[in-house]
Structure 1
Amino acid sequence: MAEISKTDKPVLVLLHGWGVNQGVWQTILADISPSVQVITPDIPGFGRAQQLPQPCNFDTVLSELASQIPANSLVCGWSLGGLLAIALAERYPAKVQQLALVAATPCFLQQAGWPGMKAAVMQQFAQSLQRDLSQTVSRFLAIQAMGSATAKSDAVLLKQAIAAYPQASKAALSAGLEFLSSQDLRRSFAALNQPVVGCFGALDSLVPVAVVSELQKLQPNADLSVLAKASHAPFISHRAEFLAWLNNWLLTIG
């Protein structure tokens, strides 16, 4: 993670998703607005943050992450990172001045009247993780790029981006899946007082675009954008459009 230097610039925190690490952000860092200072912490158990807190649960992972985030940060979370960002905004409000979600939702699992992943799909991932860690992560990366016109090259880029950092342990990956399948933060999300923005892919197979209208109901003032040709990793597949969205948000912050 980049060291925090003493500047007057707001801090932008980029939180990665499941199965990857801070490396996923490397291709966009140079083109993020110079008006902010960017830090890219690894979620505990991933990348360079190999040690899991004990006991390892959602609260302890969140606490460990919160300890690395300066007060009044702009927190942008992708996928699992977005779930954690919502919880950070609720439980550590002094840390999160504004919240940005990228292909993320407060409830990843499909519920009655709520679009999401089917429980069977999540269970398949959990079972295959026990059999073959590397193959499961590779399959997951391929799914993230699915639907995009450049899906194959997107998946390769994702693999290359995360390869520069240590691979997550099976325990960390299992914990992350458990968070995605068990956490329902819809009430927390609806109660947030911080400004919320979001960027979603219309072709996303993990966070279906139908969830955007449901998020809007929970946060009527949220500014949620949908990229028509993007899937689950818009910062890889649609780098220019994603950067335009991100930098436009940063321009609105005084």
Structure 2
Amino acid sequence: MSSIHCEIYGQGRPLVMLHGWAMHSGIWREFARQLAERRQVICLDLPGHGRSAPIANFEMPAIVEALLAAIPLPSFDLLGWSLGATVAIDMAAVCPDRVRCLTLLAGNPRFVREPGWPGVKPEVLDSFAELLGNDAKQTLQRFLGLQVQGLPHAKAVLQQLKQSVAECDAPDFAALQGGLRILKLHDARDKLAALKLPIRVIQGDKDTLVPVATAAALRYLQPALQIQVLSGAGHTPFLSHPQALVDILLGDG
């Protein structure tokens, strides 16, 4: 039996969805049910998150291996959000014969900013890592706040996000540390550039964690990728702009 928690909704062309750092699949259950009107939606909890068991080392190769083993299908579409998008790129690189198309939702193959590449400031992740060792609860609350920063209805979206996150205990400490380490150090740009499958990038123009400028930078890596920017959306468009996002994703047929 797999140690990865899996929730499956609906029938149709399979879409596997991966959540972000410190989250779990419950954050987008209602969104998944909307998609499930025309798709089979498979939501996975990352190792050590939600209802998934932890793994010995929360590092990319082990994460990818655990998730691929938990998906009961020979092929599927793959959507990753935030940290889940970074993981999704590596999954597609490891098993290009299984991943039919890839969607990066508020995601980035290189999460931190560096010369010529837009991203979050490294010191933001450093502060999270330092705070995590002293007060994990405060760290997670601060991270939730960053995800809705700048939205006109941020308070309502934040409350919805907090309620969903509270459904499960916080991830184990090693998974939280490992996730921050991946966000700070992992670079999947070469892997993304080498992929030979349809790729779509969906971003919000108010996202403070994955700047909208990332979309243009990604086009240099993959000139054929499809970019869609949601006006007024931040880092959690599945909460703030669910219908617009559903329309995009179901436009595949």
2:68 is matched with: 66
Q: Distance in 1 between matches of 2:249 and 2:146?
A: 24
2:161 is matched with: 158
* Cα pair distance change 1:149/1:88, threshold 3 Å: same
Q: Distance in 1 between matches of 2:9 and 2:14?
A: 9
Identity %: 36
Query: Unaligned stretches of 5+ in structure 1?
Result: none
Say how many residue pairs are matched.
Answer: 247
Cα deviation, residue 4, structure 1: 8.5
2:182 is matched with: 179
Query: Are 1:239 and 2:242 matched, yes or no?
Result: yes
* Cα pair distance change 1:153/1:3, threshold 3 Å: closer
Q: Distance in 2 between matches of 1:134 and 1:83?
A: 24
Cα deviation, residue 25, structure 1: 1.0
Q: 2:224 aligns with which of 221, 225, 229?
A: 221
Q: Secondary structure at the match of 1:148?
A: coil
Q: Distance in 2 between matches of 1:26 and 1:4?
A: 9
- Residue pairs, 1:133-152, within 5 angstroms: 133-152=136-155
Query: Are 1:116 and 2:124 matched, yes or no?
Result: no
Cα deviation, residue 19, structure 1: 1.3
> Taking structure 1 as the reference length, what is the TM-score of the superposition?
0.93
Q: Deviations over 1:154-180 (max 9, x none)?
A: 111111112222321111111100111
Cα deviation, residue 95, structure 1: 2.3
2:88 is matched with: 85
Q: Distance in 2 between matches of 1:107 and 1:124?
A: 18
Q: Secondary structure at the match of 1:244?
A: helix
- Residue pairs, 1:25-104, within 5 angstroms: 25-49=28-52, 51-69=53-71, 70-104=73-107
Q: Deviations over 1:73-112 (max 9, x none)?
A: 1100000000000000001112211100100010001111
1:105 is matched with: 108
2:3 is matched with: none
Contact conserved, 1:88 with 1:95, CA < 8 A, in 2?
no
Deviates more, 1:61-70 or 1:16-25: 61-70
Query: Are 1:212 and 2:215 matched, yes or no?
Result: yes
Deviates more, 1:79-88 or 1:167-176: 167-176
Contact conserved, 1:142 with 1:152, CA < 8 A, in 2?
no
Q: Deviations over 1:129-182 (max 9, x none)?
A: 111111111110110011111111111111111222232111111110011111
Q: Secondary structure at the match of 1:60?
A: helix
Q: Distance in 1 between matches of 2:33 and 2:47?
A: 25
Cα deviation, residue 211, structure 1: 0.7
Cα deviation, residue 10, structure 1: 2.1
Q: Secondary structure at the match of 2:50?
A: coil
* Cα pair distance change 1:158/1:72, threshold 3 Å: same
* Cα pair distance change 1:163/1:219, threshold 3 Å: same
Aligned letter for 2:77?
L
2:7 is matched with: 2
Cα deviation, residue 28, structure 1: 1.1
